Amino acid sequence: MTTLTVPATLPPVQGKAGIGGALRAEWTKIRTVRSTLWSLVAMAGISIGLMSLIAWATMHRWARFEPREKANLTQHPLEIVLARPVFVCQLVVAVLGVMVISAEYTTGMIRSTLQAQPRRLTILAAKIAVFAVLMLVVGELLSFAAFFVGKQIIAGHIPVSLGDAGVTRSVIGAGLYLAVLGLFSLAFGAILRHTAGAITTVLGLILIVSNLTGLLPDSWGHHINAWMPTNAGLLILQPHQAPDDLLSPWQGLAVFSGWTVLLLAVAAVLFKKRDA
């Protein structure tokens, strides 16, 4: 019969479960989940593939456009190569941002996470930091890739360069917008803790509520519409401020960031107080 020998003393603890360990754990989780990979593939397909198709189709029909339409496209080249793909990409980012945290509640993994690291704010801070860096890097890479690919497609009829006024800021701002939107969606996922409900809420704000506020009458309606989160944030994609815009591009991104910080603060309070 074999006898199991147990050491008299356990080996000393190496390090502690701090923010470094939490960051590594969150990075491991986010990069090993299939939904993350497929979401990033979808973003690349939309920002580069779909944009290229739309730009090619637009240039192919160039001779059929009226002079007024040609002038409008020439004055707003980023509408083709940047604004349209970002508008569709944001739907993917919103879903991914929600699922970064809501999926753990759906599967029950959040209980294991809290057992491994009882400091709840440390966990939430790690999730926010890892996802923010991921979306910022991916967003900027896709923004510049979409710009350079689209630039080559439309070059025969619409010249555009990073040296043009406001263009570099718009391309960089597209990546910043997607990163902020990801955190905005993550906050709703943490607050609602239900994947379908949080996704419905975020997409409803982006696609429905933000547009409906434009129907409100008088100047107060104009102000409400301008200060809606994504309406303000999307101003960063415009190379030039329109005459009727109440906010400048950077002010718009700041307003969107402010909404996001507020929601993340609410999420932090609820994450700390509620049971898993």
Q: By the 8 A CB rule, do 202 and 187 touch?
A: no
Question: pLDDT (tens digit, 9 = 90+) per residue, 241-250?
Answer: 888 889 999 9
pLDDT above 60: residue 27 = yes
66-73 mean pLDDT: 87
Poorest-confidence range of 80-94, 131-145, 180-194, 256-270?
Answer: 80-94
pLDDT above 60: residue 15 = no
Question: pLDDT (tens digit, 9 = 90+) per residue, 150-183?
Answer: 999 988 888 888 988 899 999 999 999 999 999 9
Region label for 4, one of left (φ > 0), alpha (ψ between -120 and 50) or beta (otherwise): beta
| First and final C-alpha spacing in the chain | 45
pLDDT above 80: residue 96 = yes
Cα separation of 204 and 185, whole Å? 12
- Predicted pLDDT at 13: 47
Cα separation of 172 and 239, whole Å? 11
Cα separation of 140 and 30, whole Å? 19
pLDDT above 80: residue 4 = no
Token pair 């996001």 in the structure block, residue: 260
Average pLDDT taken over every residue of the chain: 88
- Domain boundaries defined on the chain: 20-273
